[in-house]
Structure 1
Amino acid sequence: MLAMVILTPLQASRADISDLFKDFSLKDELELGRKFSVLIKSRMPLIEDPEVVSYINDIIKRLQTDMKPQPYKFEGNVILDNSLNAFAVPGGYLFVHTGLLLELENESELAGIMGHELAHITQQHITGRIAKAKKTQLMGLAGALAGMFIGGGSTGPGLAVGSLAAAQSAMLNYSRQDEREADQMGLIYLTGAGYAPQGMVGGFEAIRKKKWQSGSTMPAYLSTHPDVDERIISLGDRIRMLPPDMLKRPEDNKRFNRIKTLIRARYTDPKIALRHFDRSAPDDCMSQMGRAIALARLNRITDAADNFDLALACSPNDFLVNREAGSFHYMKGDLDRAATLLQKAILLNPRDYMAFFFYARLLGDKGDIKGASRYFEELLLHLPEDSEIHYYYGRMLGENRYLFKGYLHLAYSALYKNDKKKTDYNFGLANTNAKTPEEKQELERFEAKYQERAEFWDK
C-alpha cells in the first residue's frame, strides 16, 4: 500500500487517450516521429548491430509493464556518440547515445533514464507545446526537436534544420514541471518493470558528475535546468519511503556488461579499449572477447586469434563469442573455421543477425548464391535499412549477373549511407536494367524511400 501511495499519485492525472492530441492529432504525432527518425538516420551515425539495438528495445518493452496502453509502437535506436545523452520524441522513438551506455554502472540506471524519457512521451510534454503551433510544418518541427535534444553534442551542429527550427527548439524545451513529472512517472515505469528504484537516481547522478568534468557532454535539455540537484534529492526522498523488499532488489548486469564490452571493443578507440580490457580479470570471458576485437582492429592478427581462442575456451557455448570469432576468421580468410563458428552461433541464437550476415557472405564467397540469397533476404526482413546488408547482397548479385537486383540493392546501400551521388548512380543503372512490371514496382518503392531522405539532404 505504501508503494501505491508513493508511486501512483500521477496515475490519476493521465488524460484519456482520446483527449491527448486535440489540435495536434495522433496522425500528426506519428508523422512527426517518423520524420524525426529519418532526419536522425540521415545525419547521425547509428549502431546497426542487432545485439545492441535489440537490447535497448528489450528494456523498452520491460518498461511498458506498468504503462497504460499507448497508441504507438516504441522504437529504440543507439547513436554512436560519446555524449551522456538519451532522448525520446513524439511518436514513440527513443535514442540512446553510446557514451551513456559506457558511463553507467548498472542496467537499472540506464532503465531509469530511459523510463524518464519515455514518460515525456506518455505525458504529452512535447505534443502539448506543438499543439499551440498549428501552422508549423512537421519537417521544421523535426529539426527543432533535433536542435533541442542534440544541439549541444559533438554530433549536433547543423541538426536544427533552418532558422524556423532553431527558433522553435527554445519553445519546445521541457519545463521544470515537465521534468519533475517525467521523473515521477519514470520511477513508476522503473519499479513496475522490476528494477531497483535506486537506478533512477544513480543514472542522473552519473550525468551530473560528468557535467562537472566536461560541460559540453551534458544533454542540453538537462544542463539548462539548474534544479537537477533538487530533483535528485526529491527522487531520493521518494525512493527511501518505498517498501524494503523493493529497495533490496538485486542488480542483474550480465547482459548490460556484454553490451558495454561489445560497444567499447568495436566502436571506441581500440588502444584505449585494449588498456581497459587488460585491467580485467584473466577469467573474464567477455573481456577476453573484447580484447580480441580490439587487437583485430589494431591489425594484431596473431594476438587477436590467440585471444579469440581463449575466449572460446572460456565460454564455448556463448553465441556472441562464437559470432565474433567466426566473423574474425572470415575476415582473415579462414572460411572453414569461420563456417563452423558462425553455424554454431546461429544454432545457439537464431536471432543473431550479425552471424547471419557473415554466414551469407561466406556462402556467396563459396559460390552458393541461392543459399546466400536466402540468408540475405531473411536479414532484410528484420533489418531493411542496414546499408551493409544491401551492399554485400547487391555486390554478390551483380557479380553473378543479376544486374537489376544488384544495382537496386547497391542503391539502397548508398541511400542508407546518405551518399546521394552513389544512390543516384546505382538507381540509374537499376532503372536501365528493369524489365518486368514487378521490377518497375520495386523502383517505385525505392523512390518513396529516396524522397524521405532527400527531404532532409537538400536542406
Structure 2
Amino acid sequence: MRRLKFCALAIAALACMARPALAQQILRDAETESFMADMSGQLVKAAGMEPKNVQVMVINDPEINAFVAGGQYVWVHSGLIAQADNVNQLQGVVAHELGHIEGGHIIRSGEGIKEATSVTLLSLVLGAAAIAAGGAEAGMGIMGLGQQAAMTKFLAFSRGQESSADLAGARYLSKAGLSGKGSLEFFKKLQNQEYRLAIPQDNSYGRTHPLSGERINVLREVYSVDPAWERPVDLALEQRFERIKAKLIGFVSEPTQTLQKYPETDQSMPAHYARAYAWHKSAYPQKALAEADALLAAAPDDPYFLELKGQILLESGRPKDAVAPLREAVKITNQPLISVLLSHALIATEDEANFAEAEQVLRLAVQRDRENPFAWYQLGVVYERRGDTPRAALATAERYAMMGEHPMALRSADGAMQGLKPGTVDYLRAQDIAMTSRAAIEQQRKKR
C-alpha cells in the first residue's frame, strides 16, 4: 500500500507541474492595465482574438517569468517587467504566452498528463505482477523505470508546447509589424540566467522548456528575415513602458534599492515616479508629495500623476485634500480603479455629505469592473452607514464570492434576500450568488 501511495503522489506531481500556482499577489493599477492593453492589442488581433477579451495582468513576483493559467489571461511577473530593457522585449514575451492561449495548451496539458499517467499505471501493473511471481527486485525496477518513463514523456510534451508557442509568437509579432529583436534579447537574458545557475547547455533533456540557446538559434532564423526586423520600437509606447516600469519598481522594491536605481540627481519623469513611491513607502509624505508635484508641474492634466498625489494624501491621513486631485483624475479617465480610490477618500472624510457621491462613484465603478473586492467592501460600508442592511449584505456577498469564501458568501447572500424585494434585480443577484456558493460548497465537500 505504501508503494502505491508513493506512485499516486508521483502522478499528482505531474498534474501540479502542468499548472502554475496563482498564490502571488495580483497588482492592479489603472495606468499599468491601460498600457498593457495598448501594448498587446496588435498582438492579440494577430493571434485571432478580441483585445477586449484578453487581459495582461501583473503579479508581484521577483522571478523573470510569465504564464497563462486558463481563460484568456496572460500573467506577467513584476520581476520580468523590472528586468525588461524595452517594450519590445515585453511584447516578445506576451506574444509567446498568446501562443499558449491560441494553441489551447492549458487544456491540452491534460493530454500529456494522461499519457504519462498511463505509462505510470502500466508500470505499476507489470511491477505488481513481477512481485507476485516472486521477483520483488525486478518488480520494483519495473515500477521505477515506469516513473522515469512517465516523467520523460511529460517533459517532452511540455517542451513541444513551448516550441510551438515560440513559433506562434513569432507569427504574431510579424503580423503585427513588430520586430523580433526584443524576443531574442529576452531569451538571451534567460540564457545568462541559465549560465549563472550552471544548467548544462548540451541538450534540454529532463527540462520542461527547451534551452534558451536552442530557442535563440531557431527564432533568429525566423526573425532576421522578417520585414519588421529593423523596425524601431514605438517611441510613445516606450515612454509609457519606462513610466510603468519605474512605478512598479518603486511600489514593489525596498525604498533603498529604488533610490539607488533612481537617485535624486536623476530628474527624469520615470525617476520622479519611482522616488514618489519610495518616499511614500518610507513614510516621508512631504518628499513623496514633492516628487508628485514635480510630475504635475510637467504634466498638470495627467490623470495618473493626479491619482498618485491623491493616493499619497489619502494614505498620509489627509483624505479631504485627496478628494480634489482624485476627482479630477476620474473626470479625465473614468477609470474604475481610480474611482474606487476616490470613493475611499470620500468615505474617509467621515463627512456624510460625501457619501452620496461615494455611492454613485462606486456603483459606476463596479458596473465596469466587478472584480475588485475592495470596491464591494466600500459599497457595503456606504450602504451600512445609510441603514440599507440588505444591500450592504449583498455587497458583502459579492466580495466574498469573488474571494472564493463560499460559506461567507452564502451567509451574506441569504441575509440579503431576507430584506430585498423578491423579483428585483438585487434579489435575483443575491439568489444567483447563493446558488453558486451552495454548489461550490457541495463540490468541495465531495472532494474531501
Q: TM-score range by the shorter chain?
A: 0.7 to 0.9
Mapped contact 1:326–1:341 kept (Cα < 8 A): yes
1: CA distance between counterparts of 2:324 and 2:52? 41
2: CA distance between counterparts of 1:269 and 1:421? 37
Mapped contact 1:327–1:355 kept (Cα < 8 A): no
1:283-306 Cα distance to aligned partner (Å, 9 max, x none): x12321321222112212222222
Residue 235 of structure 1 aligns with which residue? 219
1: CA distance between counterparts of 2:178 and 2:336? 28
2: CA distance between counterparts of 1:182 and 1:222? 19
Task: Report 1:299-318 matches (<5 A).
Answer: 299-318=283-302
Alignment-mate amino acid for residue 250 of structure 1: V
2: CA distance between counterparts of 1:305 and 1:278? 17
Out of 351, 367, 371, the residue aligned to residue 385 of structure 1 is 371
Residue 340 of structure 1 aligns with which residue? 324
2: CA distance between counterparts of 1:421 and 1:272? 42
Between structure 1 and structure 2, the one with the greater Rg is 2
Residue 203 of structure 1 aligns with which residue? 186
Residue 182 of structure 1 aligns with which residue? 165
Alignment-mate amino acid for residue 373 of structure 2: S
Out of 241, 245, 250, the residue aligned to residue 233 of structure 2 is 250
Residue 356 of structure 1 aligns with which residue? 339
Residue 104 in structure 1 maps to residue 84 in structure 2: yes
Residue 12 of structure 2 aligns with which residue? none
SS state of the match for residue 247, structure 1? coil
* Aligned-residue offset at 1:52: 2.3
Residue 55 of structure 1 aligns with which residue? 35
Instruction: Give unpaired runs (5+ residues) of structure 2.
Output: 1-17, 116-149
Mapped contact 2:410–2:433 kept (Cα < 8 A): no
1:177-233 Cα distance to aligned partner (Å, 9 max, x none): 4333322221121132232220111122223323444699xxx99963353212112
2: CA distance between counterparts of 1:429 and 1:169? 53
Task: Report 1:154-193 matches (<5 A).
Answer: 171=154, 174-193=157-176
Mapped contact 1:356–1:379 kept (Cα < 8 A): yes
* Aligned-residue offset at 1:380: 0.6
Task: Report 1:230-309 matches (<5 A).
Answer: 230-243=214-227, 246-252=229-235, 253-278=238-263, 281-282=266-267, 284-309=268-293
1:372-431 Cα distance to aligned partner (Å, 9 max, x none): 212101111222121111111211221221111113223333444455676566556545
2: CA distance between counterparts of 1:274 and 1:428? 51
Out of 84, 102, 114, the residue aligned to residue 122 of structure 1 is 102
Residue 142 of structure 1 aligns with which residue? none
1:313-341 Cα distance to aligned partner (Å, 9 max, x none): 23322211111101222333434532321
Alignment-mate amino acid for residue 371 of structure 2: E
Residue 445 of structure 1 aligns with which residue? 432
Mapped contact 1:60–1:74 kept (Cα < 8 A): no
Counting matched residue pairs gives 386
Residue 194 of structure 1 aligns with which residue? 177
Structure 1 residues 72 and 316, CA gap change in structure 2 (3 angstroms): closer
Aligned-residue CA RMSD in angstroms? Answer: 3.8
2: CA distance between counterparts of 1:279 and 1:212? 35
Structure 1 residues 262 and 233, CA gap change in structure 2 (3 angstroms): same
Structure 1 residues 169 and 227, CA gap change in structure 2 (3 angstroms): closer
% identity of equivalent residues:
21
SS state of the match for residue 82, structure 1? coil
Residue 328 of structure 1 aligns with which residue? 312
Structure 1 residues 215 and 255, CA gap change in structure 2 (3 angstroms): farther
Mapped contact 1:277–1:291 kept (Cα < 8 A): yes
Larger RCO (CA under 8 A, 6+ residues apart) = 1
Instruction: Give unpaired runs (5+ residues) of structure 1.
Output: 1-35, 136-166
TM-score normalised according to structure 1 size: 0.72
Mapped contact 2:68–2:106 kept (Cα < 8 A): no
2: CA distance between counterparts of 1:382 and 1:169? 46
Mapped contact 1:126–1:174 kept (Cα < 8 A): no
SS state of the match for residue 177, structure 2? coil
